[in-house]
Amino acid sequence: MTALERKKAKDLRGQQVFLRPEESSAPALGIRQSTTLSEQLQDALLRLAAVVDVRSLRVALRDSIQELLPSTECVCIYVLEGDSRLLSDDPPHEVPQEGKIRSAVEQQKRCECAGLPPSELPEKYRIFLAAPLLAHRRALVIPILDQDHNKVLAVLLVGCGPLSDQDELHLNVLGKHASVACVRIQAVQASYQRPPLSPSPLQSHNALLHLNVSEQDYCELDRNILQLCGELYDLDAASLQLKVINYLQQQTKSQCCCLLLVSEDNHQLFCQVVGDKVLEEEISFPLMFGRFGQVVEKKKSISLQDISAEERRQLSSMLGCEISSMLCVPVVSRATGHVVALACAFNKQGGQRHAEADEHVIQHCFCYTSTVLTSTLAFQKEQKLKVECQALLQVAKNLFTHLDDVSVLLQEIIVEARNLSDAEICSVFLLDRVSHELVAKVFDGGVVSDEENEFRIPADQGIAGHVATTGQILNIKDAYSHPLFYRGVDDSTGFRTRNILCFPIKDENNEVIGVAELVNKMNGPWFNRFDEDLATAFSIYCGISIAHSLLYKKVHEAQFRNTLANEMMMYHMKVSEEEVTKLLVTGIEPVKEIHPCFAEFTYTPRSLPDDTTPHGVLSMFEDMGFINTYKIDLHTLARFCLMVKKGYRDPPYHNWMHAFSVSHFCYLLYKNLGLSNYLEDIEILALFVSCMCHDLDHRGTNNSFQVASQSVLAALYSSEGSVMERHHFAQAIAILNTQGCNIFEKFSRKDYQRMLDLMRDIILATDLAHHLRIFKDLQRMADDGYNTKSRNHHSLLLCLLMTSCDLSDQTKDWKTTRKIAELIYKEFFSQGDLEKAMGNRPSEMMDREKAYIPELQISFMEHIAMPIYKLLSELFPGATELYERVAANREQWTKVSHKFTIRGLPSNNSLDFLDQEYELLQSQGAFGSDDHCLNGCLDDTEGSQGQ
């Protein structure tokens, strides 16, 4: 800030705004190479807040657009003149009456296109805006709207690059502030176009002649006033008043003169200059101060005999001398006809009284100078509004940098509120809705750390309680006369409360969250209307910052709780070195030694004992060549496998044994269908690891239940869909991030990111809703033939393979399929019981009282399972046997359905009775031999024997 700017800022203090803008320590814009977009937007808004005419508006808009939008090549600005003409000054021309630009104006909508018709553009802008533009260039037509009157105030034509979401946001904010600036400029222009209502110089001349003023005296007066007018050019308000007051003192031969300026919006008279002295702090009076208020109202002059002794005493105090004579003349604005000031002359030389000729000399002076005076005061007001905007923007910046600590934020609010309003004391209370109290733990002196020293008052008592209850601002000019004020504190401390401004602090829902109380206006008799407006604007920033600070605190607490919960979970899932060593001590067993048929579709992985399944996973990793190809550390792999196993809960079906079976089927697809001819190695690895992790931390309930019960998982993921699947992926990432478990640690950054992306997409594909959405695409791929060069075909095939692995129990023999159905419906019915307990109606398949299992199984196999394996067989002829086995199991469900006379499961939760006919047929050799015992699918006695 230059010395001149600091001087102007100092001159602006008083009248309505009592601000002390600090000198900015930020470097100039030209040398700030690291200015962020948010700072650029702030600079743009400051420019718009400072505009005072159309020319400065054009400059501010042009500079702002060029800074905010990418690769801006040109900006053409049209501003409304009159009721309908939109004019540009560079070069001078008008918006065409027809065409794309006019269409955007009439529709009042922003238009973004690849170019505008050349006929609508001046020659200067055609190279940047005329169609067709290059692919990376865009033409924008941006109407600036007055929403209240539903009209276009200005139009911007911009040639720039494509807009990002952030650019769109910046344009919306800039448009709103540009609209406010346009409305303000129109209001200022309109105020100077009204017909003159005050006496003209000619009328003043005639009045002087009527008073027998000689022609020679008039000519002298005329020369003096013309000389004065020549000296009033380009002066600030205080300097202009000094010149005028000096002139009045000479012409009326008075000891002292002053101007009492009228502030109608604040209902005050204020004085900035007395005699030849500019006051350091202006002196204010109520607008209706004694007889002076009648002068403003009736526009008639008064003398010393017309005022009271109290008014005479206050004037003597202001002047610093006794008053022997006085003349007070109203100064009427030629533009509005309203009184804008009172010209007062005191103590005529020689002890005489002021005469009517003195009154007309004063009127004659202001016939020539009132316009200059009012325009200077209007400019001062505009500058003051600019300072206010800058101060409020700085306040917002200060407040939003302290969101991490509510106490520090409240302390900052106190400081800013006191500085903005020039109050002696400020207090901030937050509303405690639980106890219905207003709580203050931050005072002017600092922060109270001990909760016992918090200051609490009932939320419906006193001045602060009244404001908290009503939500309305309360301005008390005389505290002691107000019924809500309690004098006890003043009496005990000796402090005197003169006046109070108390205002509510509200959140974005317009609910009161706190109250701020300002005490004792320092440079005025009380808080005025402008202070109320300033407090209202300030309270919006306070409400937003406090609400976000409290939310920030809650988020941090939630993050800490989440971190603690993850630490507890990982602690209980922790794999010891002994467990890793035990798993690796015998080395990796070849798959042939696990079972001769381990790599065949007929093998049932559930026949393996639970404690040997990690060995089976290591064997499959080795047999598929992943360990050597990706240089996976064996200890890391072993720890990862054990961590994944521990990451599964123990619901009837979605447990570790299910994950192991799904992973084994992936291994079977690799061994029997030649996946390496269809997919990249990294995609096959991602598929296998995803099969291991695809149901991590499954709770035995589906996505619909999570949403209906409003669970924590639903709160985290419901907006994105596939709640449980996203949780499974998150758990997989958590395990990979656990020390000593990252099997991809030797991947390059690019491969690592791709691996995680593949795992996410594959695990999300286990949501059957996702499968149904892409089924037509899968069918189209099968019909057209798989294209190994198509990235989309790779993605679709991975989804199909994952789903086929997830449902692979349906491809096993009848006993396995039947037993799996038993486990699934146990899990379903448990969820149905929970839904009933919540007061909800479960779906038929979840309701043990309504579910007819054979019918549900047949429907599932016909509509879901069989189409999946049919597609698989069309893509891989070697998968035909899988489809045939699923079809055979579907037929078996049809055969045994006549035995099923109940809904739900039998009382013993077993479907073993369905096996009698099957066993009879098997004994006759219809199905071949099956020597596998099914781990996780047998009764407890059988299961213990199997293990």
SS3 labels along 517-538? EEEEECCCCCCCHHHHHHHHHH
Contacts within 8 Å (CB) and 24+ apart, 369-372: 369/225, 369/228, 369/229, 369/232, 369/244, 370/198, 370/331, 370/332, 370/333, 370/334, 370/340, 371/333, 371/334, 371/335, 372/229, 372/232, 372/240
Instruction: Report d(CA 115, CA 131) in Å as an integer.
Output: 4
Angle at 189 between CA 188 and CA 191, to 5 degrees: 65
- 466 catalytic? Reply is no
Angle at 936 between CA 931 and CA 941, to 5 degrees: 75
Q: Which of 143, 172, 167, 168 lies closest to 155 in space, CA to CA?
A: 143
Instruction: Report d(CA 690, CA 704) in Å as an integer.
Output: 23
Instruction: Report d(CA 768, CA 799) in Å as an integer.
Output: 11
The number of CA neighbours under 13 Å toward the Cβ of 670 is 27
DSSP assignment letter at 116:
B
Query: Which DSSP helix (H) or strand (E) runs through 621?
Result: helix 613-623
Helices (H), ranges, 211-256: 215-231, 237-252
Instruction: Report d(CA 854, CA 407) in Å as an integer.
Output: 65
Contact between 927 and 815 under an 8 Å Cβ cutoff? The reply is no
Contact between 919 and 892 under an 8 Å Cβ cutoff? The reply is no
Q: Which of 728, 782, 785, 784 lies closest to 759 in space, CA to CA?
A: 728
Concatenated DSSP letters for 916-939?
HHHHHHHHTTSS-------TTTS-
Instruction: Report d(CA 876, CA 888) in Å as an integer.
Output: 20
Q: Among the options 354, 615, 654, 664, which is catalytic?
A: 654
Collapse the DSSP code of 561 into the 3-class scheme (helix H, G, I; strand E, B; otherwise coil) and give the result: helix
Instruction: Report d(CA 178, CA 61) in Å as an integer.
Output: 8
Instruction: Report d(CA 305, CA 359) in Å as an integer.
Output: 15
In sequence order, what are the beta bridge partners of 273? 278
Tokens found for residue 526: 């009380």
**Cβ-Cβ contacts under 8 Å for 858 (sequence gap 6 or more):** 890, 893, 894, 897
**Cβ-Cβ contacts under 8 Å for 784 (sequence gap 6 or more):** none
Contact between 183 and 146 under an 8 Å Cβ cutoff? The reply is yes
Active site amino acids: 654
